[in-house]
Structure 1
Amino acid sequence: MVKKKLGNKYNFYAAPHPAIVAGTFVNQKPTYTPLGDFGILCAYPLHVYIASVHTHYLNQGIIDNLTFSVNIPNEDNLEKLDYVGMVSGHKTDKSQVFKYFIGDLETAPMIEEFPVTMECKVHKIERVGQNDVFMAKVENIYADEIYMEEEKLNIDKVNPITLFMDLSYRTIGKVIGRSYQMGKNYLKKHP
């Protein structure tokens, strides 16, 4: 197989991005922005990051409050998710798009209709390229009971969505294996 060198263009990045909606307050009103730049920094204790272009309206609220929410959507939320990404918070009031609730951090509005939400407290902000990268400790995770089974999230029920660089939203798909298990087969064949 011959590999073709594609350079570092964003549209060739073939891996999925989790599609999340970040939320915060700006001028005492909730505002939201969908982001694909989200991930885990540390599992114990749980820390995450979001990256948002430094000119986004959302960033102003995160910098002022040092808090944000991460809201995990599913297919039921796709239309509203896409809408808040199409319009700028600088020009459009997004505060009425979603019903929200407040947790322990009073400036991290979490979206009621999304299956899973997190409230996050910022501990570091870095500028990387055009993005502000907000690194934060997850203070609490909330999930609707219908997505739970025996005190665990059922990912198939949540059915989170991803964003690819061809601008397509996709669901995660079926389970094809378990981490730290599949490699045992390799070890059996190659002791």
Structure 2
Amino acid sequence: MKKIISPAPLLYPSPVLLICTYGSDGRPNAMTAAWGGICCSEPPCLSLGIQKSRHTWDNITERGEFMVCIPSETLVSETDFFGIASGRHLDKFAETGLTPVASDVIDAPYIEECPMALACRARDRMHIGSHTLIIGEILSIQADEEVCGEDGMPSIDKVRPLLYDAHTKMYYSVGENAGKAFSSGLKFRQNVYEP
């Protein structure tokens, strides 16, 4: 029997993302976000839940573009700091020693030390309650060569992204492979997937 629990922002896993923008003064900024994920395949898009009170919300509204950096588990302290300090009051990059790099694709920086970054242009937004849902179209992906597999694409076991548990407020790393998608379920019936 399942226990009934009050509604909460709880979904496993939640990716930990660093949203990078430029402020109105041209200064690079980044914030930590865990309310995000892929929301469309064609065109490739992701969604972010960001509070209107955040400096990053203002920056995305003003410039319309942002980078979504994927921090590895080695950057847990820096990533946490980017979520507890405001870019309105200090330079988070100077505080942490991380390196902002201007994107060649959009008007936003990425973090050099993050193994992967997605260049996004804001397509739509919807005010939900405490957060605004921002839809960003992924225009390009940048990844360090050492985190790419033989197929040239980033590999989750090499990127080693951080995950977040909203209940315990703890960061986690990725576990082991549990099965292959669009294949493991075929033991019940063959040829069920029709694109």
Give the alignment's TM-score, normalised by structure 1. 0.91
1:106: Cα distance to partner? Answer: 4.1
User: Is the contact made by 1:20 and 1:72 (CA closer than 8 Å) also made in structure 2?
Assistant: yes
Q: Percent identity?
A: 24
- Aligned with 2:142: secondary structure? strand
1:132: Cα distance to partner? Answer: 1.7
1:126: Cα distance to partner? Answer: 1.4
Which of 61, 64, 67 in structure 1 is aligned with 2:62?
64
Gaps spanning 5+ residues in structure 2: where? 191-195
User: Is the contact made by 1:67 and 1:105 (CA closer than 8 Å) also made in structure 2?
Assistant: no
Q: Any idea what the Cα deviations from partners look like across 1:82-133, whole Å, max 9, x if unmatched?
A: 1111112232222434212222344211110001001101111211111122
Q: Residue 155 of structure 1 corresponds to which residue in structure 2?
A: 156
- Aligned with 1:78: secondary structure? helix
Q: Which amino acid aligns with 1:16?
A: P
Write the distance in 1 (CA, Å) between the matches of 2:181 and 2:116. 23
Q: Residue 21 of structure 1 corresponds to which residue in structure 2?
A: 18
Q: Any idea what the Cα deviations from partners look like across 1:146-178, whole Å, max 9, x if unmatched?
A: 011221222111111100011110011000101
Q: Which amino acid aligns with 2:12?
A: A
Q: Residue 186 of structure 1 corresponds to which residue in structure 2?
A: 188
User: Is the contact made by 1:29 and 1:95 (CA closer than 8 Å) also made in structure 2?
Assistant: no
User: Is the contact made by 1:47 and 1:135 (CA closer than 8 Å) also made in structure 2?
Assistant: yes
1:25: Cα distance to partner? Answer: 0.7
User: Is the contact made by 1:41 and 1:48 (CA closer than 8 Å) also made in structure 2?
Assistant: yes
Which of 39, 42, 46 in structure 2 is aligned with 1:41?
39
Write the distance in 1 (CA, Å) between the matches of 2:82 and 2:15. 16
Write the distance in 2 (CA, Å) between the matches of 1:4 and 1:149. 42
Q: Residue 107 of structure 1 corresponds to which residue in structure 2?
A: 107
Q: Which amino acid aligns with 2:157?
A: D
Q: Which amino acid aligns with 2:72?
A: N
Range 28-37 or range 95-104, more displaced: 95-104
- Aligned with 2:32: secondary structure? strand
Q: Residue 29 of structure 2 corresponds to which residue in structure 1?
A: 31
User: Is the contact made by 2:46 and 2:136 (CA closer than 8 Å) also made in structure 1?
Assistant: yes
Write the distance in 1 (CA, Å) between the matches of 2:138 and 2:125. 15
- Aligned with 1:152: secondary structure? coil
- Aligned with 1:15: secondary structure? coil
Give the alignment's TM-score, normalised by structure 2. 0.89
Q: Residue 133 of structure 1 corresponds to which residue in structure 2?
A: 133
- Aligned with 1:23: secondary structure? strand
User: Is the contact made by 1:25 and 1:109 (CA closer than 8 Å) also made in structure 2?
Assistant: yes
Write the distance in 2 (CA, Å) between the matches of 1:102 and 1:91. 21
